[in-house]
Each structure stands twice: as structure tokens, then as C-alpha cells.
Amino acid sequence: MTKTCLAPSFATLLQDFFVDRLMQQRAVSPETIASYRDAFRLFLQFASDRLGRCPTDLTLSDMDASLILAFLRHLEVERHNSTRTRNVRLAALRSFLKYAAHRDIASLAVIQRALSVPMKRCDKPMVGFLSRDEIQHLLTAPDPDTWSGQRDRVLLATMYNTGARVSEILALRVGDVVLGPSPCVHILGKGRKERTVPLWRSTARLIRGWLPQIQDASSQRLFPNRSGNAMTRSNVADRLRLAVTRAKDQCPQLAKRRISPHLVRHYLPFLIMSCSRVMVLFF
């Protein structure tokens, strides 16, 4: 008698996708895990409401093209998500479906139709930039007489110097910084790609003055919060807003700008392309 091989449940597939596929086999970054988790949290809630069943009762066959399209419309119309965010959520669902196709052969037809749901084209906005005067006022805005102000000065200067993403800056540890004759910082970037970025003497000087304020261990976060733990993206955004508020007194034009960490990190490429001789001023 031939044994019947039962297909894994939807719950089992989803758990295996996160634990086995993403975390163990592909070893993706915590940021990617969080993004996929948020996408499925939203999708499961939507599917549960639409189908009238608990998330634990959903099946892989429920995840068809019509449900996915309805979910994407829900994101754009009701949650007012951008096209880019809509595509990020869809990418998470597609990644799971491709994994599930190897585990549940009986659902291949449903999966194939679901995978045909296309990404939506979106325009890439032009990245703005800050003037030299604006960036200088912003970098010196945090109060140097407070612990948080000292940290914020070093954080903003490092972000500006390296052009690193917020997630890359927050992941830095003391051991990633080299403060020798040729100071540099080792950054683990998107896709686990490593790169070494030279530090200007002014940035290295700030970091050297900051290190005595935190624990002297190579595994210590370079930019911790007050409790010694890692800062979050929202922490950085809040501290940047505070710096902008302080800088506006000396640089009123900042009040008319929408300043974000993304804008700060993109100032360096603008300088290099437009006026490389200005870089001499920062060494």
C-alpha cells in the first residue's frame, strides 16, 4: 500500500518560510525579517476579515490572485500606502509563494496565478541636498554639554561622512571603527555586503572624544540610547528633528526644508559630484 504524503498546512509553511528559509538558509538581515513579518501581519488580518475565518484556519489555496489584488488595493486606498510600499508588501508575498511551490505541489496552479500579480511602476523622486551652510549648522546643533547631544553630534557627522543608511549606522559597534593613522569604519550593508569607508579627521576626532562616554568593549553599540541598548529608526528621526529645531535659529532656511536621515546621507555624493574641492575643508 502506498502511503499518502499530506501537504503541510499554511501555518506550517509560513513558519518554515521564516525560520528555515529566511533565517537559516538565506540568513537575511533582521530588517528584512521585520519587513516580511509586517507584510504578513497585514495580509493575514485582511484575509481573516475578508474570508471570515481566523488566520489559523487559512489555507494556501485561499492565497489566490483575487485575494492578493484585493489586499494591494486595501493598502493603497484604505491605508494610503505609496506604490513603493505596496510593491514591498507584494515582494514578501511572492517570496513566500515561490517557497511554498516546492512544498505543496497540489497548489501549484493557485500559486502560479498568484505570482502573475505584477509589481506597479513608480517614479523615483529626485534626491534633494543640503547646502554647505545648512549641513554645518545641522551638525553643530546638538548640545555638546549633554550626553545625548554629544552622541547626536557624532552620529550625524558619521552619517554625513559615510553616506550610510540609518540601519547601517545603528548597527555599528566600537570594534567596527579604526582610529589609527588612516581612520575608517567597517560597515555591513544591505544584502550583507561589507565595505570600508574612510573617516575624515574631523569625524575621527569626534568619535575619539565620544568613546570614553560609552563602555569600552568592541561589541558595544557605537550609538546606544541612554540605557545602553540600540537606538531605533524613530529615535534617530526624533533626534534629527530636535537638531533641526535648534539649527533653525542660526539657519532660518532650514525651516522651509523637509530634513530626513535620507537627505543627510545623500549630501556627500552631491558634494563629490558638484564641487570636490570643498571636501578639503573637512579634512
In sequence order, what are the residues at sequence separation of 6 or more whose Cβ sits closer than 8 angstroms to the Cβ of residue 93?
A: 39, 40, 43, 63, 68, 114
Beta bridge partners of 195: 187
Place of cell 509563494: 97
Place of cell 550625524: 156
CA–CA distance from 126 to each of 257, 266, 270 (Å)? 15, 11, 12
**Dist CA 157 CA 204 (whole Å):** 10
Sign of CA dihedral 168, 99, 14, 2: negative
**What are the catalytic residues?**
165, 190, 262, 265
Radius of gyration of the chain (CA): 24
**Dist CA 121 CA 191 (whole Å):** 23
